[in-house]
Structure formats: C-alpha cells, structure tokens
Structure 1
C-alpha cells in the first residue's frame, strides 16, 4: 500500500494539525492506514447491499411469499431511503461530529441487517431495508469526508481516494459474487446477516481510533432545508424506481417526479434566501470542480449500474447460469475495477482529473459497444468477460478523479455535505439510468415478442439496445468532464 501521511505531513503516529474550520478533541490520533481502512469498510458495506440482493431475489420471493410487484421493493426500499437521506446525513456529520454520526449510522445499519436477516414476512423485510437505507445515508458521506479532512489535496489524498474508489467500485461486482455464493451454499438470509460482523468490527475501530470532529461554526441544523431536500429526493427516486413497473406518464411516476422537482426548486430558494445557516451553500455548486464532478458522476453511474444488471440477466435468463455461476462470472469485473482505481490514483497527480476521466470513458465506451453485440450463444470469454473487463476498467479509472474533482477546494466544514451531494448524484444517476435502460430494453423485447413468451433472441436484442444507450450516457459523461477546470492536477 502506498504510504499515506496525515494533514501535517507526518506519518501515522504523529499528531495531525486540526483542519481549518474544525475542532479536535485530545483523543488519540489514528495511523492514516486505519482511517483509510475504516472509511473503505464502511463504504464497502453500504454499496455491497445495493447489489448483493439481486441474485437472491428469487429465493427471497419463495421464502417469504413476495408477490411479483412487491419483490422489487426489497431493492427499491433501500435505494429510496439511501438516496433520500444522503444530504441530511452528510450535513449531520459536519455539525454533530463525524465520529458520532458514523458510529450511529453503522449501528442503525447493522441492527436493521439483523432484523432483515431474521424477517418472517415481506413487510418486516421491507421495513428493515428502509432502515438500512437510512443508516447507510448517514454513514456513507462520512467515509469520503474522513479522507478529505485527513489528507490534504495532493498525492496522499489521491492514494487514499484510489483505495476508497477501488473498494466502492468493486462492491457492486463483489455483491453479485457474494450474493450468489451465500444464497447457493447457505441461505438468502446471509446476504443481510453478513453485515453484522462487519458492522461490529467497524464500530469497535471507530470507538478506538476516530477523533471527534465538528464544525467550529453554528451547529444549527437548517430544518426547512433538510426537510425540503429530503422530501424532494424521496419523491424523485420514488418516481424513478416506479418506472420499472409503470409508464413514465402514469400516476405512480409523473406526479412524484413533478413534486420532487418543485421541492428541489423550493430547497434552492430556502438555501439562497431564507436559511441563516444553510444546509449547503449554493455557492459550492457554482464551483466548476464541484458542479462538474457531480454531473460526471451522475451520467457515468447512469451507465455503469446497468453493466452488472443486464449482464446478470443475460447470464441467468439466456445462458441458464445458476446464481453461483453468475456471481463468479463477475470476478474479472471486480479485479479490473480495483486495477483501474489503483492506476488512476497513481496517475492523477501527473495527469489531472480530466484526462483520466476521458481515458476511463473511452475504455467503458468500447466495452459497452462490444457488449451490445451479444448473441444467445456467444462465446463467453470473447463476448462477456473481455468487454466486461473494459467496462469495469473504465469504472475504476473514473471513480477516483470524479471524487477528487467533486471535493476539490472544499472547506473541511463542508466536507460531509459535499460528500453527501456526490453520493446523491451517483445514486440518482444510477436509479435514473437503470430506469431508462430497463424501459428501453423491455419495450424492445415486448415489441419483438408480442403476446408470446420472449425468446432468447428477443431478450438479447433488448439487452443489446440497453448497452448501446448506456454507451451514449458514457459519451455524455465524458463531454461533461470538459466542465472541470483545465488545470486539475494534484499538488505534490
């Protein structure tokens, strides 16, 4: 592992100088590798739960008696709560202290995982998933804020962000693998129960090593701003996830989207004109690095989330893979995501953010176009593994520079809310992209199949079109990278 120093440039055992805008208690100072480990494990646990349930959904439906329409809420309940509360969670860490909020978020997430793993009815599992999402929303922004407030901009922060990005990017693929193995060899319940030992270890590490940091400014929470942005995000994500079952103009989709946009506009008005201590200073959004980084993250995630989703459908619905086989098929993806993230962390100080984002976009674009040429009996290595590796390499290359850009120049007092903003952009992008691509794929399959059961050829045609549209999202993301400052290299 690349050696990481603390904010004052000392090695792990030295005392770090408190960042401007924060206070620091006289607690023990953690070695930097411990901070990175705690941040990476927290983010891994959160993102693992986004993907780990997908392979287990058929077993969950059989075990608890879910209806076809109700089953989607095993995934959507978590996504909805996670995305809706991210901004509030990020600001809570800034105001109340990151150690306190991080431990609370982990505790809530772990307890909800236990309840979900022991659930005896669909209702209990869905409620547990909602609570999991809320806990995730409070702990996830802290993982990035811990790194940006511990390491100054430069190679040391880039190295830390590279590890964080490798873990975050690989969590989706690892989730598919772990979900298949746990479901196949144990039970679907273990996709939730596996969080318990991780959560306990994280809490112990946080209690032992993290210092209590919070803003020196007023600790007043912008209640009106927090309420409007949380309700806005909940409405938007609710409308988006409902597109999987209803049309875009249906009462289940269009009204929530309109309400969400209106509330988002109201939130901007509150922050600009009403709030004395705003939840987020809108001036931050006018910074090219922050705005550009969030826009790139939104568009890229709209494409990247579909990679695992549609490849998994292809392997199980067309090729007849078991959950275990489908999970193991994603192992090359995981390795390439981690390789790309570590490579970008080493190159970012010399190349800057924009060239790395463009390089990652080019790799992902080639992979998506290649993957769109799938057939029902295509060679597995040539048409699944190799294009998947290109897409995954692009994911890894893009994650670190996007995180670096979106948090560049941000004061420590705003680190949590800006981290929450970036995570929100990614979640909204992923949900929106998957909704659009699922609608496009389903429409193509239905138009080819009519009232008959879809054939393998028809399924592959729909999936292939989804990959081509995902490639278009990658192109838009690459174009958005031009918004980033021309000189975006880290200082040594």
Structure 2
C-alpha cells in the first residue's frame, strides 16, 4: 500500500467516525430533548399527565425491544443498508412528530423513532468497531464515541432548552433532520459495502423470545415508575420478562444459528464492560432527570439556563473520555479505569446531596457535576471499547446491539427505581412535616437527594462488581476483519468461558 493510499484510507476512516458519531449523538440527544419539549407539547395537544408518559414509553418500548433484532438484521443484510435506513426512518418519524396535531400521532411518531434507532444504533457501533483496528486510532475513535454517549444527554438538554425557549416545541422534533439527513448522505457516500462473507441466519424463536422479553421488561419498568413495583401489572410484566429472557438463553444455547451467541456475553471482560454500561446509564439518566427537575422547579431556571448548567460537565466528559482511552486504556486496560470512574461518579453524586431549597450553582452544583463528568468519561469510553473488542465481523452487529440494549434497559430501570424511591421520600417528608408550601419545597429536595444517594450507591456497587469481573489485562483486542480488509486483526476473539 502506498503512503498516499494509506493517508487517504486514514482520512476516510475519520470521516466515517464523524458520520457514526453524528448518528450516536442523534440517538442520545433524543432521550433528553423530548423531555424538554413535553410540557409545551402537552399544553398544545391537550393530553393528560397520565398520557404524557407514553410519549417517552413508546420510544423506549420500540427501541429497547428491537435492538438485538436490529443488530442481527445489520449482520444479515448489510450494515450500510440498515444504518442509512435507520437514519432516514428517524428523520421521517421526527418530521411526523413535529407536524403532529394529535396525541396519538405524536406517540406513533415516537414509536417509529424507536424502531429506527434500533436499526441505526447497533450498526453505528459495529461500523466503529470494524473500521478502526489500529490500536492508536481505535482508542481515539472510542474516546470520541464514548464522550458523545456520556455527554449527549446534557447536549440534548441545552439544545432542547434553546429550541423550546426561542422557537417552539415542534423544533425539538424537527431538529433531528439536521443530524439524520447529512449523516445518511455521508453514509451512502463513504460507507463501503460489507466484504463478501458467510452471513448468519436469522434465529426466529430467539428473536421472538428476546423481543417479547425486552418489551415486557421495559413496559413493566415504565409501569413501576408510575404505579409502583408492587402493582399487579408491574409484577406480571416483570415475571413474564424473566421467563421469556430465561427461555431466550436456553434457546441460544441450543440454536445452530443463535441471535446472540452466548460466547459474546460469557467473556468476563465483555460481561464486566456490559455491566458498566448498564450501571453508568442508570446513574446518568437519574442525574439528568432529577437535577433537571431541581434546577427548573426549585431554583426556577428556564430551559435554556438549565441546559447551560450541564455544559461544564459535558466538556469534562469529553476531555476525560478521550484522555483515558487514548493515553491510559492501551497501557493499563479497563480494569483500573472503570471501577475508579464509577467511584468518582459515586462521590460526585454524594456531593450533590448537599443541595437545598436555596443553593448556589457555583458552590454546590458545579463541583459535583465536574467530578461526575470525570467519572462518566472514565467509564463509558473504556467500557464501549472493551465490550466490542475481539468480536468476529459477522457478529459485530448483534454485539453492538447488546451494548445498546444494556444502555437502554439500564437507563429505564434506573429512572423507574430512582423515581419510586424519590416519590416515597417526598411522601414521607410531607407526612412528617405537614403540607405548607415551604415544606413541600423541602420535601421535593428530599426526594432529589434521596435519588442522588441511591444513584451513588448503584455506582459504588457497580465499581465492586466490575472490579471483580474485569481481568487485570483488559486491553481491548481488535475485532476480526472480514476477508478483503486492508489490515488483519492482531488478536483473535477471546475464549467465551467465564474463569
């Protein structure tokens, strides 16, 4: 290969990173940007508080339940097709939601967004994993990708706040077109077709069991957030989810062409990385949700000001993620980074419990956010790199989908669990101190601090578990390359046995 060809290929890979990062940012932004738009949309379309949750749940149900299928479809028919189709589908669904004149149409648009995200998210991560095989380039690429995964929610709050305050809630839906359409054009132009290779068959029984199990799991968790964990519907859904997902594992162990080969999740390092993604998502979703409520309801910040309050944390996540993956991860592996990052996030969340009814942003909120940002960056980027390393090319789609599933399900469980704990704390405080306006304000803060304490505990337990699971040498192995690739993989896939 000539030097010119090598430079051209390198430049093309970084353009691919830009496309993939844009797609990931689109998916992560949408989680928080719609939350900002909800109050205005509710007033405009006239739906009730009980109905409001379906704008969030419709997306979560479609996205969470179809991720594994979306990842395997990419392996079956080609990731480029699936990636571009997901982007165009997301753009169309966003346009439909922005133009919606009824609650039902808005919910349908959100469900279509979830279906599209289930196609594009695994394909995006799979492209990243198979495109960057040089250790130095891979570290930089996953640093950028991990930073986006960690700070995208805060960027969504900022962008959503600006759009809702300066324009209209519908632009919180329309803005997705500004990301999706250019990324789709770039994907069509720069992403090459997959090299010819034997592609797996679709495991129909496994697909049905996984999709149904994840659907009732996400629905049950959403139900728990509203009606409590003891609600009969919640209990029935969670029981059905456990049975279906257990059946899915049995089917995968026996299937000739499994939807999710168990060797992918049985590896200790990959299992620890997947756990880290789930724990970090549970904690991060809680931070964004409850701190947003606190800033807007207790400190009376507007949507734009609230988004700006998260901006320093986003910058710290970017620096932390890129620094750790480029300079530290190749030398030490993930084991020292991920548990340390989780402990830092736990410390930051514990510091957030000092907030009160009248709290200064610079003195009580900014320092914990900076500590949390450092921790998030140290967790997400190394976890994503480790979870997708050493996977054969024909399994990279479903492996990436497993990462996205952990992220989505972890976030859903985190929000539901922390919401119920916060609500219980508010009720207990109000019943003990009366119902005067100042008491209700303090009760709300009690709910927020309770959520932060529990989120800190989740991170602390996650640090212990990940420290036990991850092996001392967890420097990411390179993925298998398909025939015809310009560089061979330096290491084969690790053995699947859990030692």
- The aligned counterpart of 1:251 is 232
Question: Retained in 1: the 8 A contact 2:280–2:380?
Answer: no
Instruction: Give 1:181's match in structure 2, choosing from 162, 177, 182.
Output: 162
Secondary structure, aligned partner of 1:378: coil
Partners of 1:167 and 1:285 in 2: how far apart?
A: 24
How far off is 1:197 after superposition?
2.5
Q: Does 1:265 align with 2:246?
A: yes
State the alpha-carbon separation in 2 of the partners of residues 408 and 162 from structure 1. 14
2:233 partner SS: coil
Alignment match, 2:309: 329
SS of the residue 1:307 aligns to: helix
Contact 1:214–1:413 (Cα < 8 Å) also in 2: no
1:146 corresponds to: 127
- Secondary structure of residue in 1 paired with 2:34: coil
Corresponding residue of 1:489: 475
1: CA distance, partners of 2:475 / 2:270: 15
RMSD: 1.9
| 1:404-445 Cα distance to aligned partner (Å, 9 max, x none) | 221122111111101100110111111111111110110000
Q: After superposition, what is the alpha-carbon deviation per residue over 1:215-261, rounded to whole angstroms, capped at 9, x for unaligned? A: 72244211111111011101000000112210212133111111111
Q: Does 1:340 align with 2:325?
A: no
**Secondary structure of 2:335's partner?**
helix
8 Å CA contact 2:200, 2:394 repeated in 1: no
Partner of 2:484 in structure 1?
A: none
Mapped partners of 2:325, 2:299: distance in 1: 37
Structure-1 residue corresponding to 2:496: none
2:258 is matched with: 278
- What secondary structure sits across from 1:488 in the alignment? coil
* Structure 2 equivalent of residue 473 of structure 1: 458
The whole-number CA distance in structure 1 between the counterparts of 2:473 and 2:4 is: 24
Question: In 1, are the aligned partners of 2:386 and 2:475 still within 8 Å (CA)?
Answer: no
Aligned positions, number: 471
Q: Is the 8 A contact 1:84 1:231 kept in 2?
A: yes
1:336 offset after TM fit, Å? 1.3
Following the alignment from structure 1 to structure 2, what is the Cα–Cα distance between the partners of residues 88 and 32? 27
Distance, in Å, in 2 between the alignment partners of 1:345 and 1:11 is: 24
Q: What's 1:295 paired with?
A: 275
Report how far residue 289 of structure 1 moved.
Answer: 1.6
Pick from 84, 92, 98: which aligns with 2:73? 92
> Distance in 2 between the 1:31 and 1:248 partners?
50
1:299–1:477 contact (8 Å) kept in structure 2 = yes
Distance in 1 (CA, whole Å) between partners of 2:199 and 2:125 is 23
TM-score relative to the length of structure 2? 0.91
Q: Which residue of 2 aligns with 1:223?
A: 204
**Are 1:228 and 1:267, in contact at CA under 8 Å, matched by a contact in 2?**
yes
Q: Secondary structure at the match of 2:256?
A: coil
SS at match of 1:170: helix
Counterpart contact for 1:145–1:415, Cα < 8 Å: yes
Q: Is contact 1:407-1:415 (8 Å) kept?
A: yes
Among 401, 404, 417, the residue aligned to 2:398: 417
Q: How does 1:406-485 map to 2 (within 5 A)?
A: 406-450=387-431, 452=435, 455-482=440-467, 483-485=469-471
User: TM-score, normalized by length of structure 1?
Assistant: 0.92
Structure 2 segments unaligned to the other structure (5+ residues): 478-489, 491-499
The within-5 A match list for 1:51-66 is: 51-66=32-47
TM-superposed deviation, 1:489: 2.4
Is this contact kept in 1: 2:388–2:396, CA < 8 A? yes
Match of 1:13 among 8, 13, 21: 8
Cα gap change, 1:10 to 1:168, in 2 (>3 Å) = farther
* Structure richer in helix, relative to its length: 2
1:11, 1:32 within 8 Å by CA — same for their partners in 2? Answer: no
Give CA-to-partner distance per residue, 1:171-213, whole Å, 9 cap, x none.
1000001111000000000011011122111111111111111
Alpha-carbon distance change, 389 to 14 in structure 1, aligned in 2, over 3 angstroms: closer
Distance 1:12 1:360 in 2: 35
Q: Relative to structure 1, is the Cα distance of residues 164 and 11 closer, same or farther in structure 2, using a 3 angstrom cutoff?
A: farther
The equivalent residue for 1:25 is none
* Aligned 8 A contact 1:176 1:327 in 2: yes
Listed as ranges, the gaps of 5+ residues in structure 1 are 16-29
Runs of 4+ in 1 over 6 A off after TM superposition: none
**SS across alignment from 1:487:** coil
Match of 2:92 among 111, 114, 117: 111
